Chains A and B, each alone.
Chain A
Amino acid sequence: MGTHKMKFIFIAVGGSGTKVADALVSLLAIGFPTNQGKSGLDSEGDVLEIWRLDPDGSSGAADALQQSVDRYNSLQQELEGKWGLTIDPEIRHLDPLKLENGANNKIKTLAGILNSGYEGVTSSRPFLDLFYRPKDLEVAIDRGFYQKPFIGSAVMAVFANTLKDGNSSGGSQCRMTYHETLDVRFFLCGSLHGGTGACGVPIMGKHLRSVRNNMQQANRWQIGACLLTPYATPPDPPFNRLEDEKLLTEDLITERVQQYANTDAFRGLSSGEQRELAKQILLGFYAEPREMITRAGQGLLYYQDHASDSFDALYLVGKPAPDELTSWSNGGKSQRNPGNSAETIAALAALDFFSAKNPKQSGYIVGTSTPTLHSGQIRLSDLPHYRVGNLDIDPERALLAFVTAFHCLFHEVTWDIDVAQWNRKSLPALKHHYSRDEERKRRDLQHYQLAGNDLIYFVASLLSPDRSLGWSADMASAIDRFMSADEGMYGATRRSMGKKGFMSNGPRQPLWLDRWQIEVTAFEFGTWAPNADDFTRGEYLRHLWQKVYEKTPTTRPDLEASIMALT
């Protein structure tokens, strides 16, 4: 019986949330299921919409996410759909600095927002001066809140209020009235230690809860969140902040700009932007690595006391020893940090919330913990399981199913040989499908190859050492054995899938990525095809995925001994 098709809304709050959204798109692109279709685990029919709540409209992470979504949709096109769920190509940017409703907030500072005349408030300056220092009120916040939620929360609170108005900038993006008629699962994700995430997640969660409380069918919405504790620390900025007693002068800013204009952080910025960045650093408006843990702790206390009841499920993901980033940036286009295994784990939390039959849980759900876990070198077997309906999904098995299906499609199907010559006993399904239609086969191969490039991109964005931190190095090489275009690499998998001999139909070797191994032969794969007269490329790939996933895995014998020793 198929599960009910759903609409999922992922609300990426700040840079970390945006990067988790990117990881989520990658997981969906490589076939992670979200429902149980008629033919098995699937994600077709579900719809994902991504909202991005971030004052930084030009962040590198946002550009990367848009590229991923575009690539995902191109992948779906190449596969004629029926491979994954539908992702809305438009990422809805909720800019908390866009207020309207009589507001004049062209000045993107805290004072600019709070004195914008929003809803007829003439000036709040007398109150603001009680709570904020002048530098907090005047710093430009169009690149985020610089790990200072006390600035962001005021802005977010005003913004959340604008969402009630369907004609406001944020309200028109959210379309709350429309969504009230649908079964929707909202999932918010942001960091606990940052600025935007720390203040945006609880305020947006509270707003959604208040809308839900006023709905006639309140049970149509489920609201979940994932909070990221520090998992990657940036290096120190190019120069130190001013000591408290020293005054910031224009000359000092000019001196710093001249001195550091050629560093990565300043290169490519306009003269005005360089001066603004120098000013931010000198005033201490940047993510301070040494304060991250303390801020995350404060954030957790806040959730415990004020915000946790906004959510039906609250996930917590982080690392005891954060990975170290090599380049420093204070937001904007230049902020393009590599991915991280923690983001993948947070994306799995989103999948769990979206796909579980009943996602409601009390207390924090901690991402992962296994006896062999090393947070800087996460293995696929360390990844937390998630639920689809009532089924438990092991990400390692899902990935093994994907890479095996990929290998079979590209390295076991004899695309280079005319269909007329394909052996009817070895590749009966595809031979029948193409039934001497060489042109169709050629066309399908072209589309598969384009889709294959996209799939490689998504896997690399999750696991490749040059694009993602925090993974055990041998995970990427394990994937290469299936997905590489180099026969020297995938040849081992091809040999493993070979039939053992004349009298045995079993494979020569099992296939594995990490802990689990499965047995599948190239001949067995050849008999797999969707149970339909005609099928799309996506359906075929999904069917291969399902058949491999259905294989009962066993623990690799060489690992079993070491696991037993540890437990």
Chain B
Amino acid sequence: MFEALAFVIFDGMESLLEWFTGDPSVPNWESTTTSWLIAALVIAAASTGVMAVAKFIWKAQAASPRERIWTRSKAVLFILGGLAPVLIAVSTTWYLSRDFVNIIALIGLFKGILLGWMLYLFFMVLTHAWGEWREDLF
């Protein structure tokens, strides 16, 4: 029973990895794809960190309570503004690695960007889930 479950998960993981890969016929493609996904994750987390620090400084510089209040639309626009650096960072990372260009390919790049964005949005929503930032979004 346990072995069967492990097989299903492993099989599912492999299918997922394959979805992000442009050319799965290349030997050892799983390692490259895993690196590609880790890169997307790191870029999303780093972008979230940079955007959070930027927001913290922006808010700390507010001269009055009025300036410190962010409307929902302002907060959403700010979060969406972080998508651009994710796009640039993921594309640059893809372009700088021959393995990524050859194995992940263009289709894998688009899917990686999508993943980076999703992770970034998830992290950003997470940072707004409590504390005073919660008032900006919810």
Taking Cβ atoms with an 8 Å cutoff, the residues of A that contact B are 412, 414, 417, 420-427, 494-495, 497-499, 501-502, 508, 521-523, 526
Contacts and interface: CB of A to CB of B under 8 A. Distances in A.
Interface of B: 57, 60-72, 132, 135-136
A417 B71 contact: yes
B8 to A, nearest CB: 45
Given A424-B135, A425-B132, A526 B65 contact: yes
Nearest to A500: B63
A522 B61 contact: no
A499 B62 contact: yes
A80 B32 CA distance: 71
Contacts of A426: 62, 64-65, 68-69
A420 B134 CA distance: 10
Contacts, number: 56
A523 B135 contact: no
Contact of A502 (B61, B68, B71): B61
A291 B62 CA distance: 63
Given A421-B136, A423-B132, A424-B135, A498 B63 contact: yes
Given A414-B69, A417-B71, A422 B135 contact: yes
Given A423-B135, A424-B132, A425-B132, A523 B64 contact: yes
Contacts of A425: 68, 132
Q: Is the interface of B mostly helix, strand, loop or mixed?
A: helix
Contacts of B61: 501-502
Contacts of B67: 498
Q: Is the interface of A mostly helix, strand, loop or mixed?
A: loop
A420 B135 contact: yes
Given A426-B64, A426-B69, A427-B65, 8 more contacts: A421-B69, A424-B132, A425-B132, A426-B62, A499-B63, A502-B60, A522-B63, A523-B64
B63 A414 contact: no
Given A422-B135, A423-B69, A423-B132, A497 B64 contact: yes
Query: Which of B65, B68, B72, B132 is packed against the most chain A CB atoms within 10 Å?
Result: B65
Contacts of A521: 64
16 contacts: A417-B66, A421-B72, A423-B132, A425-B68, A425-B132, A495-B63, A497-B64, A498-B63, A498-B67, A499-B62, A499-B63, A522-B63, A522-B64, A522-B66, A523-B65, A526-B65
A548 B55 CA distance: 32
Contacts of B69: 414, 417, 421-423, 426
Nearest to B71: A421
B61 to A, nearest CB: 5
B75 to A, nearest CB: 10
Contacts of A424: 132, 135
A414 B132 contact: no
Contacts of A495: 63
Contact of B64 (A412, A417, A420): A412
B131 to A, nearest CB: 8
Contacts of A497: 64
